[in-house]
Amino acid sequence: MADNEKTVQLSHGGGGKEMNRLIKSIFFKAFNNPILASEEDAALLHFEGQAAFTTDSFTVSPLFFAGGNIGKLAIAGTVNDLAMMGAEPQYLSCSFIIEEGFAIKDLKAIVGSMAEELHKSGTRIVCGDTKVVPKGCADGLFINTSGVGRVLKPQISVKNLRPGDAILVSGDIGRHGAAILMAREGLTLESELVSDCANLWPVVEQLIACNIEVHAMRDATRGGLAAVLNEWAGASNVGINVEESKIPVCDEVKGLCELYGFEPHDLANEGTFILAVPGEIADGALEIIQRYGHCQQAAIIGHVEETHPGKVVLKTPWGSSRYLDLPQGELLPRIC
């Protein structure tokens, strides 16, 4: 095989023969569906009623990590943004920025993961774009996915938290951030810590099917649990009280946090979400998440109050309390 068949070349982004070949042999093959195959300037879709629309660019480093790769992340991330608004993920776009010299076999592996993840969520890629930049002008591969979906459960909003709501987390926190940190530092723990990177639509679909009244729902990505809770407290002008001892954190994440001076609630997650539901139905919601989401670690971690509006109060295991602030500074760059 010639060298230029093993790696992506500038000509693969030129809009000519080579680009057509790359798109057809890799992207169309993996993502095959009639809308994408129509090759129009834009995909034609049918919609009725309220739709959700979201976008995310993925620049994660390294591209492959324990529990996933940039491709899996790019699909799960955008599917999750739609799911968090109570919307059924339907159509995604996908845009690649590829550095000249990127290995075709890595591209195929990443695209393969994307196809697998699409399949799990019943979503399709209906339009795309491919750019190639010269060596040194990008770091391997960046992927943007945007998505649209039909809103099945309206009125989920950062502004909808009310005093008396319970705060739930769908699993143990910090695993994605910790997995990226491990991969980057070349650490291999004896344990099998993997990213939580996953598509959340199946569990959200169950919550909707069971007619659970969700006030707010968000996946705790960059900035982690701390960022979500602070955003909610501010947007809804309520106080959120959280008990540190109730927040599920696995031993590996605890250990890495001690080693590197991070807090688990600041670390990113990519398949873990936070819910606010009326206190009286919190146990029911928890059971659904645990049973259908395979989220054994899901837990009720706090509640919403009128006091301390705009603030998140963390009660430590020793009985003292402190404000849990929005993360500040560099933390871990390029975790998603």
> Using CB under 8 A, which residues numbered 67 to 126 contact a copy of itself?
80-82, 84-85, 87, 91, 93-97, 126
The one segment of 24-32, 58-66, 185-193, 248-256 that binds a copy of itself by CB under 8 A: 58-66
Considering the complex, what minimum distance in angstroms separates the CB of residue 190 from a copy of itself?
30
**Contact range with a copy of itself by CB under 8 A, out of 106-114, 147-155, 161-169, 301-309:** 147-155
Buried b (16+ CB within 10 A) or exposed e, 252-266: bbeebbeeeebbbbb
Paired tokens of 271: 């398949």
Q: Which of residues 193-222 bind a copy of itself (CB under 8 A)?
A: 218-219, 221-222
Among 57, 206, 290, 321, binds a copy of itself (CB under 8 A): 57
In the list 42, 211, 261, 319, the residue contacting a copy of itself (rule: CB under 8 A) is 42
Q: Which is nearer to a copy of itself, 279 or 309 (CB)?
A: 309
Binding mask 245-274 vs a copy of itself (x if CB under 8 A, - otherwise)? -----------------------x------
Does 190 contact a copy of itself by CB under 8 A?
no
Q: Any contact of residue 281 with a copy of itself (CB under 8 A)?
A: no
Sequence-distant (≥ 6) Cβ neighbours of residue 15 within 8 angstroms: none
Compare residues 10 and 281 and give the one whose CB is closer to a copy of itself: 10
Q: Considering beta carbons, is residue 291 or 322 the nearer one to a copy of itself?
A: 322
Collapsing DSSP to helix, strand or coil, 315 comes out as: strand
Nearest 5°: the CA angle 298, 302, 306 is: 150
Q: How far is the CB of 127 from a copy of itself (least distance, A)?
A: 5
| 329 counts as binding a copy of itself under rule CB under 8 A | yes
Question: What are the contacts of 284-290 at 24+ separation with CB within 8 A?
Answer: 284/210, 284/212, 285/166, 285/168, 285/207, 285/212, 285/214, 286/168, 288/203, 288/206, 288/207, 288/210, 288/212, 289/168, 289/170, 289/203, 289/207
Q: Is the peptide bond before 34 cis (omega within 30 degrees of 0)?
A: no
Residue 33 near a copy of itself by CB under 8 A:
no
* Helix pair 104-121, 201-209: axis angle to 10 deg: 10
Strand-pair category, 312-315 with 239-243: parallel
Is the CB of 41 or the CB of 192 nearer to a copy of itself?
A: 41
